[in-house]
Structures are given as structure tokens and as C-alpha cells.
Amino acid sequence: MASTSPQNPSVRSASVPQVSIPANEIHVYDAEVGWRNLLPDLQELHKYRFLLRNLVVRDLKVRYKNSVLGVLWSLLNPLLMMVVFSLVFGVLSNNDIRQYSVFFLVGLMPWNFFSGSVLSGANSITGNAHLVKKVYFPRLLLPVAALMSNLVNFFIALAVLVVFLYASGIGLTVHALWVPLLLFTQILFTLGLAFMLGGLHVFYRDIMMILDVLMLAWFFLTPVMYPLSRFGEQVTILGIPFMPAQVMRWLNPMASIIDGYRTVLWGTISSAGHVSAGPAAMDPAYLLRTFVTAMIVLVVGYLVFARRQHLFAEAL
Amino acid sequence: MPAISVRDLGKLYRRYDSNRPRTLQESVIQGMRRLAPQEQFWALRHVEFDVERGIIVGVIGSNGAGKSTLLRLIGRVGAPDEGEVEVRGRVGSLLDVGIGFHPDLTGRENVYISSVISGLTRNRVHERFNDIVAFAELEEFIDSPLRTYSDGMQMRLGFAVAIHTEPDILLIDEALTVGDMAFQRKCLERVVRFRNQGGAILVVSHDLDLLADLCDHILWLDRGQMAAYGQSAETVEAYVSQSSAT
């Protein structure tokens, strides 16, 4: 090869305007993937806050763009779903649970938020491949934006649910003040899964296929259609007292969360069939334990994501 | 201080197509084989150069020489495997025209999203909005969905956004040839003005005449290695004579 040894050419000493570059605009990118790089850069995230907002708005706009009723659908959708479910369960149900349609919807709405967020979070990097491959921005904004656009829909559904609660004579009690805490815990848990699955989906495309089945199984293992107490509060196996409902709470944070929503918005139901008069207080210990689990899932999910994010662009 | 410093930069690509576990099933089956050395090659190696402010650098080389890989590393899309890149200032990349555009959204909505992806604040986009649209000459169509635009219109809008995001460093990959002659000239004028205001620019193109004309320096990449970095005319000449010799 007729190459000369690479040299930097003489620098023009022309009258280039002096521009001072702020220290936070000076970056060094190297091959190190140290622990330092795993921590989220809060200053940078603040800089990109408008991007997060735009990603969420874009999600919502695109979803309803070509429909005649547009954004009205996010209101109509849960409304129609409630009508269908109350008709079905009003006519067909041989269930002895009081106001079963309310019982069901109180669990279904947060569940839909959860499963919708997990699915769009898992798809958030691969679905935005055209962005990830072409331009830098903090990658973690994509799963977060996926969750937030589902959250917006959940808030709309929640408003419909409140109307429904009043229409069915239950209304809201002081116990509804637990809902923000439950929602916060649910968001942390969901975000952890969204990070983990979104990051892994780039490398393993069958995650989506598995998720379809997994979310269905998870739905049936979560007390949405039935009370948590259906698992049985106390059984004795080989002389050891054993509490399946309790085990379910440990294994499945969503069981605890859905049961929490139901307790504070609808009421409780014991395995003996004893139903509380209305919405009741929830046990803070349950929420605290679920919160700790959610935090662990969030940290693990984030680390799985952060350790791989520099490879996203070339793997897509 | 140079706007871009590239030090002993290397990027290793693993050839995944054949033996890469794409699915969990294969991953399990190939669990053992993953330890075996994969076929891999250096898309870039031992690349080292500085770009001062107020300089346009053209990057030339045959296909697969690592030109786009270099731009992507400087634009922080992907991480180096060796060495480092230091950038002093905000990087605007025009690696593709119309980054973040969505066909179902209007031109207006796309301008906002694309600008914000480049790190602009909402207010800043608001201020520059009319300039962007005027530059792209799309005033009449700005509220129509992007899918009704022709390719040329989309490219004009994309270029207009990129040039108005006011970066300190601009990376351009084959995007200077958008639109008709008049629009091309407008883009080039804009790039030169940006240079004169102290911006540093890296352009990848196969249009050697354009680069020889536009650039202050030329970086010649050959199979991931630096073949030369020097004054435009002579480096292009050396490249042409070497290409025609083989």
C-alpha cells in the first residue's frame, strides 16, 4: 500500500471564533465499561427531559393517529370493556362474589397497565432501532417512555373506574389513599422488568414469543378474576402449616399489588367467604415487602440493561 | 484545543451471521461453542487524528473502509473496543436524514421530535421552527403527514433540522447530496458558514470533487487503517491514483 505515515496536517491558524465549551459538553468515549458507566447520568437525563416527553407524546399520538375518534379511544376503550364485563358477569356469572364486575375491573385495570407496559417495554429498544442505530441519547429513556405512555392510559382508565365505583354505590373511601403508594410500587417493579426485557430482547428475539404465553399464565396466577384467598389461607402439608396465599404474595409481587388495589377500592374476601363491608385498610407490611422486591427487580433490571446498552446499536 | 481528538481508536466487529446464537434455543445448544474463537475483524484500528474548530474534514475510502463506523463512534452510537474519542462540544449527527421521523405524524410534529432527539430544548425548537421550515421550503406542507412527502421533501426537512440544531461538531454521512442543485448549494453554503463560525465538521462522501472543493483536510481510510491525513487536493489525488492502480 502506497500510504504515507499518518500525520496530522498543519493546523490552520485562521481567525476561528473562540468558543468556550462548558465542561459538561466535553466527553471521552473509550472501551471501558466500568461501574462508573453503569450509573445513570442524572445531569444528562435532565438535559434530555424534553425527549422523554416527546417520546411519550409520539407514542400516544401514533396510537390514535388514523382513527376517527382519536384520543377519545383511550377513554372509550376501558369504558366499553367495563360494559362488556359487567354484562357478561351480570348475566352469566354464577359467582357469589358481590358486585363481581367491580371486583374484576378493580383488578383488571392495574393488570392491563402492567402487561401493556411489560410488552411495550420489552419492545422499546428493538421497536426504535432506527433511532438507536443513528443517534446517541440515553437509551434508558426508551423503556421509561414506553411505561409512561401506558401510565397515561392507566390514569384515564382509573378515572373511568372511579366513575364506575360511584355508579355501583361503592364510591371512594379514605382507604383509596393507598392507591398512589401501590401505583408507585407497581411502577418500580414494572420498570425493572421493562429494562431487563427491553435490553435482552435486542439479543434474544424469542423473548417476545415467550412473553405472550408467560403474560397469559401470569394473568391466571394473579388474583384478577378471583380473590387472593382462593389460594387458601392455611393448609397443612405433612404436618407443617402452610399458607398458599402468603407464598403467592412472595413469589408474585403482582398478586400482592392487585390484591392491594382490590382491598382499598373494593374490599376483602376471606377463604371462608367472609366479605368485608367495603373498602378496607391494607396491611403496610405487605406493601413494604412488595416495595423491597420491586426495588430489587428494578436494580437488577437496570443493571442488565446498562451493561448491554453500548452494544445495542451494533446488535440491532 | 481540538474539537475532536481520536486516539488509537479501534472497533472490533464480530461476524455473527453464521454462528451467533440468535435465539435462546441456539444459545443453549451452542453453549459450549461460544467459547470457541469467533470470526472477527477490525473495522477500525490505530486511527488517530485531531479535528480543530473551524475545519471541515472529508473522510474517503472504498466501501468497508470504516468511514461510517468512524462517524458512529464519534457520534457515540456504539462504543470503541480500543482507544478513545474525545469530543469537546455538542455533537450533531446527520448519519441519516430525518432521524426519528415517523410517517404518520405531521411535518411539524416530526421537526419537534427530531430536534429534541438532537438534544434541543422545546423552547429552542420553538424559536427556530420557522427558520427550519423556511430552509426546507416546506411551508405549505408542514401540517401534512410525513408519508405524503416525497423522498426529496423528507430529506430537505431532515437536513434543515440537523443544520439548525446548532451543534459544535457536525457529522455528515453522505447527506450533502439531497435535493436538487439549488438546495444542494444552499446546504453547502450552510456547512461553510457553520465552519466559519467555528464549527468542526466531518463529512463522509464518495463525491471526491465535492470533498476536494469543500474540505480543509482529507482523512483517507483503507480497510480500517489510516492511509493518510492531509491537505485535501493531494490526499484525494493520492487516493485516486492508488484506486486506479489496483
The residue in chain A having the minimum alpha-carbon distance to the alpha carbon of residue B56 is A12
In a domain, A3, yes or no: no
User: Is the residue at B22 inside a domain?
Assistant: no
pLDDT in tens, B152-199: 888 888 888 888 888 889 998 876 666 678 888 888 898 899 999 999
Instruction: Say if A215 falls within a structural domain.
Output: yes
% of chain A exceeding 70 in pLDDT: 87
Residue A145 counted as domain residue: yes
Confidence label for B36 from pLDDT (cuts 50, 70 and 90) = very low
Largest CA distance in chain A: 89
Mean pLDDT of A182-190: 98
pLDDT above 60 (res B34): no
Considering the domain boundaries, does residue A283 fall inside one? yes
Range from A34-43, A257-266, B65-74, B106-115 carrying the lowest mean pLDDT: A34-43
Q: By the CB < 8 Å criterion, does B84 face chain A?
A: yes
CA gap A30, A35 in Å, rounded: 14
Compute the distance between CA of residue A316 and CA of residue A236 in angstroms, rounded to an integer: 52
Whether the predicted pLDDT of B33 surpasses 60: no
Of B13, B48, B105, the CB nearest to A62: B105
Its domain, for residue B161, covers: 53-245
Confidence band of A176 (pLDDT split at 50, 70, 90): very high
Domain of residue B198, CATH code: 3.40.50.300
pLDDT of residue A32: 72
Answer yes or no: is B91 within a domain.
yes
Please give the average per-residue pLDDT across B197-202, as a whole number: 92
Q: Look up residue A254 and give its amino acid.
A: M
Cβ of residue A130 closer than 8 Å to a chain B Cβ: yes
Q: Classify residue B12: in a domain, yes or no.
A: no
Q: Which of A9, A16, A28 sits opposite B217 (nearest CB)?
A: A9
In this complex, do B116 and A133 lie within 8 Å of one another by their Cβ atoms? no
pLDDT in tens, A188-228: 999 999 999 999 999 988 899 999 999 999 999 999 888 88
Residue B43 domain-assigned? no
Query: In this complex, is the C-beta atom of A23 within 8 Å of any C-beta atom belonging to chain B?
Result: no
Listed in sequence order, the residues at least 6 apart from A79 whose beta carbon sits closer than 8 Å to its beta carbon are A160
Interface of B with A in 167-196 (CB under 8 A): 168
Q: What is the mean pLDDT of residues A172-189?
A: 95
Give the angle A282-A286-A287 at the CA atoms, nearest 5°.
Answer: 80
pTM of the model: 0.86
For the beta carbon of residue B128, count every other beta carbon within 10 angstroms. 19
DSSP A42-93: HHHHHHTHHHHHHHHHHHHHHHHTTSSSTTHHHHHHHHHHHHHHHHHHHHT-
Query: Does the residue A254 lie in any domain?
Result: yes
Question: Given CB atoms, is B106 within the 8 Å cutoff of chain A?
Answer: no
A209 inside 8 A of chain B by CB = no
Contacts (Cβ under 8 Å, ≥6 apart) of A11: B52
Count how many domains chain A has: 1
Domain of residue A76: give its range.
42-315
Closest Cα in chain B to A33: B79
pLDDT for B179: 67
What 3 state SS string does A181-223 have? HHHHHHHHHHHHHHHHHHHHHCCCCCHHHHHHHHHHHHHHHCC
Total tally of structural domains belonging to chain B: 1
> What is the enclosing helix (H) or strand (E) of B227?
strand B225-231
The pLDDT, as a whole number, for residue A97 is 74
Task: Indicate whether A12 pLDDT > 60.
Answer: no
Say if B95 falls within a structural domain.
yes
Q: Do A27 and B87 touch (CB under 8 A)?
A: yes
For residue B48, being part of any structural domain is answered with no
Q: Does B121 touch chain A (CB under 8 A)?
A: yes
B39 inside domain: no
pLDDT digits (tens, 9 = 90+) for A219-265: 999 998 888 877 776 777 777 777 777 777 888 999 999 999 999 99
B31 touches chain A (CB under 8 A): no
DSSP code per residue over B99-132:
TT--TTSBHHHHHHHHHHHTT--HHHHHHHHHHH
For the ranges A52-56, A188-192, B99-103, B201-205, the one whose mean pLDDT is highest: A188-192
Residues in B closer than 8 angstroms to A18, CB to CB, are 198
